Chain A
Amino acid sequence: DAGVTQSPTHLIKTRGQHVTLRCSPISGHKSVSWYQQVLGQGPQFIFQYYEKEERGRGNFPDRFSARQFPNYSSELNVNALLLGDSALYLCASSANTGGSNQPQHFGDGTRLSIL
């Protein structure tokens, strides 16, 4: 079975631009979470969506937004890009919102570089 897939793999943008990152969860998984990972740090929680509803938001500015589609895939949008947004953006899916022992399974991420 396919794991979590993310696109694109790599992306280069300039300051002020906008970017959309995409994620397809594992088949049957209804929850998608987004994380930002800066080099040398652990992933930082951005959003979680479950059944197309936002269930949680991390400490990120309003420039970051996301949505989940009826097929449970998801998009992360970042507006007015800053140099500090350069990071690996990880998508993770789980069967539900994460209760019980349901782990989150991560995709390979999108490496975003801001010039």
Chain B
Amino acid sequence: GQNIDQPTEMTATEGAIVQINCTYQTSGFNGLFWYQQHAGEAPTFLSYNVLDGLEEKGRFSSFLSRSKGYSYLLLKELQMKDSASYLCAVRPFDYKLSFGAGTTVTVRA
């Protein structure tokens, strides 16, 4: 089976930094994805990691350690529009994504 854990909720102040952790135990590994989902909308792709290390894309960065089954998504210079659910998803096989339950981030003024 697949087990993907991430915190349920996080709150941060506008302009601050937030780190969302994700730990996983899956039967295979072909990459880890982070998606952003605003309430009532579709998940949108943020980042992809398949090798250990840090991937940076503007204000968002994602880190992976395959040996530890661990990833994090770092959101810098938080904006109000960053309030959303952030989904960690592991691709155990080529044909599917296994998602965590999502972390709801609330950005306060």
Interface residues of A (CB under 8 A from B): 4, 33, 35, 40-45, 48, 50, 55-56, 58, 90, 97-99, 101, 103-109
Contacts and interface: CB of A to CB of B under 8 A. Distances in A.
Given A40-B102, A42-B101, A45-B98, 14 more contacts: A40-B101, A41-B102, A42-B102, A43-B87, A44-B99, A50-B95, A55-B94, A90-B42, A90-B43, A98-B30, A103-B48, A106-B43, A107-B42, A108-B41
Contacts of A108: 41-42
B100 A42 contact: yes
B39 to A, nearest CB: 10
A101 B42 contact: no
B89 A98 contact: no
Interface in B38-77: 41-45, 48, 50
A98 B91 contact: yes
B31 interface: yes
B33 to A, nearest CB: 6
Contacts of B30: 98-99
11 contacts: A33-B95, A40-B101, A41-B101, A41-B102, A42-B87, A43-B87, A45-B96, A48-B95, A55-B95, A58-B96, A98-B97
Contacts of B48: 101, 103
A47 to B, nearest CB: 9
A33 B100 CA distance: 17
Interface string B2-45: 00100000000000000000000000001101010000011111
B24 to A, nearest CB: 12
A35 B102 CA distance: 15
A78 B76 CA distance: 42
Nearest to B95: A56
A55 B95 CA distance: 6
